[in-house]
Amino acid sequence: MQRPKPLPTEVLSDLAVSAATKLQRLRHLGRYFKQSSKAMEQQVSRDARFYGSLIRLQQNWKVKRQRVAAMGPGSEGFSFDLLDNSFVDLTALSRPSSISTVRVDHHYSGILSIQRPQKLCRFISLRFIGADPSCKQKSISRKKIYSLAEHHRAAKTEALTDEEVNECVKDTHSILCEIHQSTFEEQVFDMVNHETYNPLPGISVTGMREDFLQLAIGQETSVCLWLVPSGKEDGPQMVDPKGDSQNGESGLLNSDSMDLAIVGDDQHDFFKMNLSGMPNPVSLEIYLLFIFHENVLARARERRSCATRAQVPGEPADGSCGVLGHFCMTVAHRIFSNKVLSELESLVNGVPYLQLLSHPTWHSRTSSWSLFLKFPQSVLHAGRRSKISDNHHLKHGMRSQFHTKVVVKDDQINVSGEGAPSIICSFRGSSDDICSLNSFGCDLEDLPMILLQQVASQVIRWLHEEALVVGMKASRDFLCLYFGLDHGDTLGLVAHVDPDDVNGCISWWVVMDDGSAEGKNLTYYGESESRRFLGHLSLEALYATVMDLASLCSIGGIH
């Protein structure tokens, strides 16, 4: 028996049902596709955010990738590698830096962020012990790692603007800069430690901890280096000057800046120690970083150019004393040259017509100044110029300016003057000019006296020349100018130099005598009939005095 033939209505209803089912499925499929496209769109924008940020950061930082599935969700194994391999080879690192690889987090919202290292970033800092901590000039601005805003951004889901993504990338970049810089400064600290293993002349290690190093330079100065985490820039609280009676716990020093501290020799007075003459510790920090970096670059260049040479890691390539030795000598030089400068400044304060010029030497262990003296142009000199022969000019080297140069190399002072008659010449009694450069070394204690004598003798020389121009019969000694009077008498104009005189360092006396008076005895004997104190005269006043004396002498019938 066959199946009954379906009625037309049944066929139609079957068709209707299957059509409806098909439509249903098509609708379902349509919904599926639409939902997929929406989800894909969101995923695409999230990925674009992440990889866009990664590409921007990749322009400056090395990116590594580990395709490890076990990294966990939301992370493709990217990381930033902050270690420079060429650098690592050259520096014999005793401690491997634990923060040189920074992991990248890929948040659900597409934001790229980095896992901050566990340890705080540490930086080098220099300080003088005994100084008021608030005095330290915080000139190196550190970008702060602590940006809480970043967390908020990462927590937000979809409503992220381009601005916010941009801010995130910038923040990440500055954090990486900070970590990178800190890695370098820790390496420099290691290199400094490494250099102390070799014996250095004049430098000894008086304290050492994991993040602290104390060096004694010569007899008088001590230098401390610390590693300080960022955010604690005022430096460690060095309560105990003797340094390490406590256990080497960083609790004593709240911060680990690589602080350079200079300790005076006298432990009792260190709080009262006058630290105004000390060089700025910040500049020394920068210099330390600079020279060690230059050293590494130089060694890298050397290695590239001579590949066959056997490398001895850690051996300093420059100079006989190494980089650290050079640095310590620079510190010592700076302290010494500050002392020299204060002497020169007090001198120049005491002599109104003297100017102090400083000259750049472009070498960290050399300083140079000059004392500059300009003589006023004399009216007679201008008028009489034509009457004086050229020979006279050349022979006597008439000058209107006079320089004394003071050069300090390490702790050696060298004074040189132009055409200044030396003390030796004065003993010979010769009044001939010496136009050649005349230089000698001296000590810090003798410096003011020597310079004042140079200046005074130059003034005498100038007055002598001016006196000759007007036709006076004049002769000079080292610090005295003698005018010949009638009857064989001489009138002497004598310079007296005293660096400690508060009214002025060079004062003048008129002496009526037989010409044997020396400047030294004048103040002892005081004023008398034959000696008059003129005071601290300016150059114009001296010139006028000499001209007055000229008229006095000419009455007596000279010429």
Binding site for other proteins (CB under 8 A): 23-24, 26-27, 29-34, 36-37, 40-41, 44, 47-48, 51-52, 55, 59-60, 62-64, 81-82, 84-87, 137, 139-141, 177, 180-181, 184, 282-283, 286, 289-290, 293, 296-297, 300
Query: Could you tell me which residues are beta bridge partners of residue 63?
Result: 80
Question: Least distance (Å) from other proteins to the CB of residue 128?
Answer: 17
How many angstroms separate the CA atoms of 393 and 386, rounded?
Answer: 11
Q: Which residues pair with 481 in a beta bridge?
A: 476, 493
Are 79 and 64 in contact by the 8 Å Cβ rule? The answer is yes
Whether 291 contacts 323, CB under 8 Å: yes
Specify the amino acid at residue 75. Answer: S
Type of residue found at 367: S
Closer CB to other proteins, 297 or 555, in the complex: 297
For residues 60 and 115, which CB has a smaller minimum distance to other proteins in the complex? 60
Tokens of 181: 């810089």
Tokens representing residue 542 in the block: 């001296």
In angstroms, give the least distance from the CB of 526 to other proteins.
38
What is the pairing mode between strands 506-513 and 262-263?
Answer: unpaired
280/422 with CB nearer other proteins: 280
**What's the min distance (Å) between Cβ of 91 and other proteins?**
12
* Under 8 Å between Cβ of 78 and 63: yes
Q: How far is the CB of 305 from other proteins (least distance, A)?
A: 16
Query: Measured between alpha carbons, how far is 239 from 231 in angstroms, rounded to an integer?
Result: 20
In the complex, least distance from residue 97 CB atom to other proteins, rounded to whole angstroms: 13
Nearest approach in angstroms of CB 86 to other proteins is 8
Of 137 and 528, the one with the shorter C-beta distance to other proteins is 137
By beta-carbon proximity to other proteins, the closer residue of 141 and 436 is 141
What is the nearest approach in angstroms of other proteins to the Cβ of residue 161?
17
Task: Kindly state the smallest distance separating residue 142's Cβ from other proteins, in Å.
Answer: 11
In terms of CB distance, is 27 or 384 closer to other proteins? 27
Q: How many Cβ atoms from other residues are within 10 Å of residue 395's Cβ?
A: 12
Give per-residue burial for 45-79: e unless 16+ CB within 10 Å, then b. Answer: ebeebbbbbbebbeeebeeeeeeeeeeeeebebbb
The SS3 assignment for 440 reads strand
Closest CB 370 distance from other proteins, rounded Å: 21
Contact between residue 369 and residue 357 where contact means Cβ atoms under 8 Å apart: yes
Q: Calculate ∠ Cα 494-495-497, nearest 5°.
A: 150
Nearer CB in complex with other proteins: 162/500: 162
Please name the residue that has the structure tokens 């262990």.
Answer: 365
CA distance 197 to 201: 12
Comparing CB distances to other proteins, the nearer of 11 and 29 is 29
The gap from C-alpha 2 to its chain's centroid, in whole angstroms, comes to 110
Q: Which is nearer to other proteins, 158 or 486 (CB)?
A: 158
